[in-house]
């Protein structure tokens, strides 16, 4: 018989707001930096301006690495210490980035900032799980994600406003303030949610065994690689989106508003996924989405429509960007669920390993693509096309291997 859940000591609406704020720090830390990339490159890396988007993947890389251990640490030492420790590391990283006098120093600081951000990101869900279960947990997470989807739309606008009022370094001070408010709010209002008797000792052997089992399971391994490709497509686009708007289409001034509008519309793809997944199934929906991306990116690459610029070219790119952002809502959750299906006996550890591996590899794939950008949007279309083709082929292989395994032995 399951132990009763801890009782929530604050109002549900306040709890949703607190958890959503912890989640929002991730999107804020990435998307608010987009308008600052040109100024940072001019000040810290004028001769190699194309390296500025690495500021985004450095953060993602650190966050992915932290994801591997923060869940296990919170199971051993409690939720609050890991969240507090993560926030302290995040603030140190943000202040180091604020004081950076070179791009290399900032990239190192951003890795540490990402490591710190992984604490609230991973442990916030564990806090929800400590307090709720079943449909109640699903409702809370749904409300949290609803609030969370607004942040990517608003973050670039907020970043632009901060730059106008101060400069790009002011964004890092905003990160510090945002994170400090969330952790002080939690410290005052939300007590520890993991009972002492429910804590589990930290064992490296269990983590290594989990990694070995995950990587040797064919379905899980293929699903992770497809997830890596899907995330890399998104990261490539995110890293190059500001330079494309500014250098290809001459819309640097209005970039935050276009980005925000696309993010809001694309955010509804999660609702569309919930409607379609029951009819089509996870695997078929992912295959269809990836095949659609192949057709669209192939058309954009070979037609040269978007590369020509102008109003028509910009409109075509805007539609492609919307579809690419919406693709995340139609694939990533399903791919994660496919990978987790055979891992029910070690769900918590598997979630950490899968999330960490997929995030780190996607960042490593996206970074070289961003470094090759030279005012030609066809590089982005071609890269996404290749990754979509690879992901679609792997999904076919995954489905075929599952059919073979399910077939009775002769």
Q: In this predicted structure, which of 28-37, 219-228, 296-305, 366-375 has the lowest mean pLDDT? A: 366-375
Does residue 325 carry a pLDDT above 70? yes
Report residue 330: phi and psi, to 5°.
Answer: -100, -5
pTM: predicted TM-score of the whole model, two decimal places: 0.88
All residues at 6 or more sequence positions from 276 whose CB lies less than 8 Å from its CB, including other chains:
285, 330
Report the C-alpha dihedral over residues 190, 196, 201, 207, rounded to 10 degrees: -40
Q: What is the pLDDT of residue 206?
A: 78
Given this model, what pLDDT does residue 188 score?
94
Whether the CB-CB separation of 60 and 30 falls below 8 Å is answered with: yes
The residues near 263 (Cβ < 8 Å, ≥ 6 apart) are 31, 149, 152, 153, 325
Rounded to an integer, what distance in angstroms lies between the CA atom of residue 291 and that of residue 285?
10
Counting beta carbons within 10 angstroms of the beta carbon of residue 409, is it exposed (0 to 12), middle (13 to 18) or buried (19 or more)? exposed
**CA-CA distance, 97 to 134, in Å (whole number)?**
41
Q: What is the pLDDT of residue 334?
A: 87
Q: What is the per-residue pLDDT across 181-195, written as a single tens digit (0 to 9) for each?
A: 999 999 999 999 888
Task: Determine which of 29-33, 231-235, 236-240, 338-342 has the lowest per-residue pLDDT on average.
Answer: 338-342
What are the residue ranges of helices labelled H in 132-217?
Answer: 134-148, 150-165, 169-189, 204-216
Q: Residue 264: what pLDDT?
A: 87
pLDDT (0 to 100) of residue 407 = 46
**List of residues 6+ apart from 69 with CB closer than 8 A:** 207, 352
The full DSSP string for 32-77 is TTGGGHHHHHHHH-STTGGGTTHHHHHHHHHHHHHHHHHHHHHHHH
Q: How far is CA 316 from CA 81, 383, 384, in A?
A: 48, 17, 16
249/245 Cα distance (integer angstroms): 5
Per the CB < 8 A criterion, the answer to whether 190 and 87 are in contact is no
Confidence grade of residue 129 (pLDDT, cut at 50, 70, 90): confident
Instruction: Report the percentage of the chain scoring pLDDT > 90.
Output: 51
Q: What is the mean pLDDT of residues 55-80?
A: 90
Cα 67 from Cα 360, distance rounded (Å): 10
Average pLDDT over residues 329-351: 80
pLDDT band at 348 (very low <50, low <70, confident <90, very high): low
pLDDT category of residue 1 using cuts at 50, 70 and 90: very low
Residue 232 has pLDDT above 50, yes or no: yes
| Whether the predicted pLDDT of 64 surpasses 50 | yes
CB atoms under 10 Å from CB of 310, counted, come to: 11
Range in 57-71, 166-180, 270-284 with the lowest mean pLDDT:
270-284
**pLDDT attached to residue 402:** 61
Asked if residue 66 has pLDDT above 80, the reply is: yes
Confidence of residue 359 (pLDDT cuts 50, 70, 90): very high
Q: How far apart are CA 103 and CA 109, in angstroms?
A: 10
279 contact partners, CB below 8 Å, separation of at least 6: none
Mean pLDDT score of the chain, rounded to an integer? 87
Rounded mean pLDDT, 236-248: 92
Percent of the chain surpassing pLDDT 70: 93
Q: Which of 136-150, 317-331, 346-360 has the lowest mean pLDDT?
A: 136-150
Which residues have CB under 8 Å from 172's CB, separation 6+? 94, 95, 97, 98
Cα separation values, 189 from 23, 55, 268, 327, Å? 17, 34, 32, 37
Q: What is the mean pLDDT of residues 227-246?
A: 93
**Buried/exposed 39-64: b ≥16 CB within 10 Å, e otherwise:** ebbeebbeeebbbbbbbbbbbbbbbb
Spatial neighbors of 106 by CB under 8 A, at least 6 apart, are: 40, 44, 55, 58, 97, 100
């Amino acid at each position: 018989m399951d132990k009763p859940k801890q009782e929530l000591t604050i109002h549900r609406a306040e709890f949703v707001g607190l958890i959503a704020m912890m989640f929002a720090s991730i999107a804020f830390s990435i998307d608010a930096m987009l308008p600052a990339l040109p100024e940072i490159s001019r000040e810290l890396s004028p001769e190699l301006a194309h390296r500025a988007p690495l500021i985004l993947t450095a953060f993602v890389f650190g966050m992915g690495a932290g994801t591997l251990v923060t869940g296990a640490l919170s199971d051993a030492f409690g939720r609050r210490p890991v969240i507090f420790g993560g926030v302290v590391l995040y603030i140190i990283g943000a202040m180091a980035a604020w004081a950076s006098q070179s791009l290399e120093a900032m990239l190192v600081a951003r890795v540490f900032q990402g490591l710190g951000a992984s604490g609230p990101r991973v442990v916030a869900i564990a806090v929800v799980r400590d307090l709720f279960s079943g449909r109640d947990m699903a409702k809370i997470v749904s409300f949290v994600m609803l609030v969370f989807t607004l942040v990517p739309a608003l973050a670039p606008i907020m970043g632009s406003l901060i730059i106008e009022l101060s400069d790009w370094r002011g964004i890092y001070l905003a990160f510090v303030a945002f994170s400090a408010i969330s952790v002080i709010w939690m410290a005052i209002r939300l007590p520890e949610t993991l009972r002492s008797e429910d804590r589990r000792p930290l064992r490296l052997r269990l983590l290594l065994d989990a990694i070995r089992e995950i990587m040797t399971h064919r379905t899980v391994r293929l699903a992770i690689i497809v997830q890596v490709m899907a995330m890399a497509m998104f990261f490539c686009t995110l890293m190059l989106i500001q330079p494309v708007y500014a250098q290809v289409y001459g819309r640097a001034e209005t970039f935050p508003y276009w980005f925000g509008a696309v993010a809001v519309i694309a955010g509804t793809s999660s609702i569309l996924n919930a409607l379609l997944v029951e009819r089509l199934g996870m695997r078929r929906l992912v295959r269809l989405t990836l095949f659609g991306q192949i057709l669209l990116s192939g058309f954009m690459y070979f037609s040269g429509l978007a590369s020509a610029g102008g109003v028509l070219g910009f409109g075509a790119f805007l539609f492609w960007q919307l579809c690419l952002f919406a693709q995340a809502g139609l694939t990533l959750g399903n791919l994660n669920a496919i990978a987790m299906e055979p891992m029910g006996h070690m769900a918590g550890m598997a979630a950490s390993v899968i999330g960490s591996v997929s995030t780190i590899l996607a960042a490593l794939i996206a970074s070289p693509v961003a470094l090759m950008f030279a005012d030609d949007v066809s590089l982005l279309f071609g890269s996404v096309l290749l990754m979509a083709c690879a992901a679609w082929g792997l999904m076919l292989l995954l489905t075929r291997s599952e059919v073979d395994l399910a077939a009775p032995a002769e």
